[in-house]
Amino acid sequence: MKDEKLYSYFNNSADTEDIIQIEEWLKADPHHQKEFDDAHAVYNAMAFQEANYVPAHTAGKPRRTALRFWKPLCGAAASLLLVALAGYVGKYAGEEIANDRIASCLNVIEIPAGQSMSIVLSDGTKVFLNGGSRLEYPPVFAKDVRHVKLSGEAFLNVEHDEAHPFRVETFDSMIEVLGTEFNVYADEENGHFSTTLLRGKVKVSTLGDEEYEQVILSPDEKATRVGSHLVVTKVPADDVVSWIDGYINIGGVGFEELMHRFEDAYNVRIVLERKDIGGYMSGKIRVSEGVEFALHLLQQSCDFTYERDKTTGTITIK
């Protein structure tokens, strides 16, 4: 029996024909009840995960974001999934095969530009996602490692578990931690990557075909990909994560990268006609003030002008 048909049965959206088919299928073989219970567990897991989404806010107004789940590798899962989601399989440890199937499932959440959201993962790890970000994660983590995949920007407060390292995979690098707070910015489209550590320690390793590099960060250190190398600098880490409170940190960020951050924060398109815009930038800008206020503020230290197309809303930097 297809999982999708069973899920429609669980959420009361199945039509009469499907209901009859499912009930006849259950009566036909006692073993079908186990498959039915396993599918119900996965459905409950998705409902459990959705309940852990907490909308953040932008410009002082709460917003709701549509949630989308993706489980390309999901088969039947253990009926004890909700126990596993609480982070404890205890006396049910014999269900390893079923638990591995659960861990092979993937949920995906995408945050539109101009919005943000927080989520609590099955192990208790808290993830704050910025606008334009995408997170892939399993309903329950595998028994040996906790692994998620990130595109965009996120702040993570990882639940400490020395026996189960937590890894964040991006287009550029792999970040591995045991228990810590850190920020990741991974903009694959424009080639920007950085990791900033607030507390604990993280190991950052490069991915891809280029020469392998690895660095270990201490608090208030930032690893940035520059060319083919990871460069470590000292930064005020609390400023880097000020986006959680509705600010954009403009210190230590190149103008081009800052414009890409503006696009995600304000949900606008920005075209750079010049690539040589310099100037010293520091401080933070409140997102709720609007993109034009932010650009006027930047003009005090950077030499540029801009135009905004009234029809498309596109901003052109000259």
- Each residue of 35-81: pLDDT tens digit? 777 677 666 655 555 544 444 444 333 333 334 333 333 433 333 33
How far is the C-alpha of 133 from the C-alpha of 68, rounded, in Å?
Answer: 13
pTM given for the model: 0.67
Q: Inform me whether the pLDDT recorded for 282 exceeds 80.
A: no
More confident residue, 59 or 227: 227
Looking at residue 169, the DSSP 8-state letter turns out to be: E
What CATH number did the domain enclosing 312 receive? 3.55.50.30
Range of the domain at 289: 246-318
72 lies in some domain: no
215 lies in some domain: no
Is the separation of the CB atoms in 100 and 142 below 8 Å? Answer: yes
Beta bridge partners of 181: 157, 199
Residue among 52, 98, 54, 47 nearest 69 (CA): 47
308 lies in some domain: yes
Write out the H or E segment, with its range, that includes residue 312: none
**pLDDT bracket for residue 85 (50, 70, 90):** very low
pLDDT score of 197: 94
Lowest mean pLDDT among 80-89, 206-215, 221-230, 275-284: 80-89
| pLDDT, average across residues 151-160 | 91
60 lies in some domain: no
Percentage of the chain lying above the pLDDT 90 cut: 22
174 lies in some domain: no
